[in-house]
Chains A and B, each alone.
Chain A
């Protein structure tokens, strides 16, 4: 079936503008995760959802970042008043409930955000 879908694949925006990044998880996957990867770096956890609720928002770097998930499916990550340090690849992943600790994350291809 279809994998995790992210849009847009690339986004160039001016400093100070707001951006919305979208993630459509694998059908039936109840958990959804957002990570950020700066150039040549590892993955930085941002937030995750179980269904529509976010048990852990500890990774959001500032109050300019927010995320929501509706209908237990699509999620949107919003960055307000973008800064140049927000430039990174934003990766979304989903996983299937019921496999417990062994459930792998399935990643989308990411959104490359460039703030000029």
Chain B
């Protein structure tokens, strides 16, 4: 079974609008972490935001926020005020347990921002 599911292969958003990228996950662990990465066409993987399973508040980093719904096992990324430079692949990832174990990645969502 897939650990991380990103159901939107591609999304379009108008410049300056907000967009939500979906991510659902599957784990039986109580302690886990959720991550979002951005991969522009240049190929680098850029860490955007983190949400811990025990964090009481939704994570925010600048224009990025995470809509964390623990009971639904979803961790959707919200990008506000989209910019042309936001066009990229976005990956949701999870780490189970604790420590520096590997992240498991979803298949990604390609976001295209339209002027």
Contacts from A to B (Cβ < 8 Å) = 30-31, 33, 35, 41-43, 45, 48, 50, 56, 59, 89, 91, 93, 95, 97, 100-107, 109-110
Contacts and interface: CB of A to CB of B under 8 A. Distances in A.
B35 interface: yes
Interface string B28-55: 0001110101000011110100101000
A42 B43 contact: no
A30 B45 CA distance: 19
B102 A56 contact: yes
Q: Determine the main DSSP class of B at the interface with A.
A: loop
Which residue, of B42, B43, B104, B108, has the highest number of chain A Cβ atoms within 10 A?
B43
B57 interface: no
B102 A101 contact: no
Leading 5 A-B pairs by shortest Cβ distance = A31-B100, A107-B45, A101-B33, A42-B107, A43-B105
Given A43-B91, A89-B43, A109-B43, A104 B35 contact: yes
Interface in B73-88: none
21 contacts: A30-B100, A42-B108, A43-B45, A43-B105, A45-B102, A48-B101, A50-B100, A56-B101, A93-B45, A101-B31, A101-B32, A101-B95, A101-B97, A102-B50, A102-B52, A104-B35, A105-B35, A105-B45, A105-B47, A106-B47, A109-B43
Contacts of B106: 42
B100 A104 contact: no
B62 interface: no
B101 A45 contact: no
Contacts of A91: 45
B91 A107 contact: no
A108 to B, nearest CB: 8
B22 to A, nearest CB: 15
Nearest to A41: B107
Nearest to B32: A101
B57 to A, nearest CB: 14
Interface string B15-35: 000000000000000011101
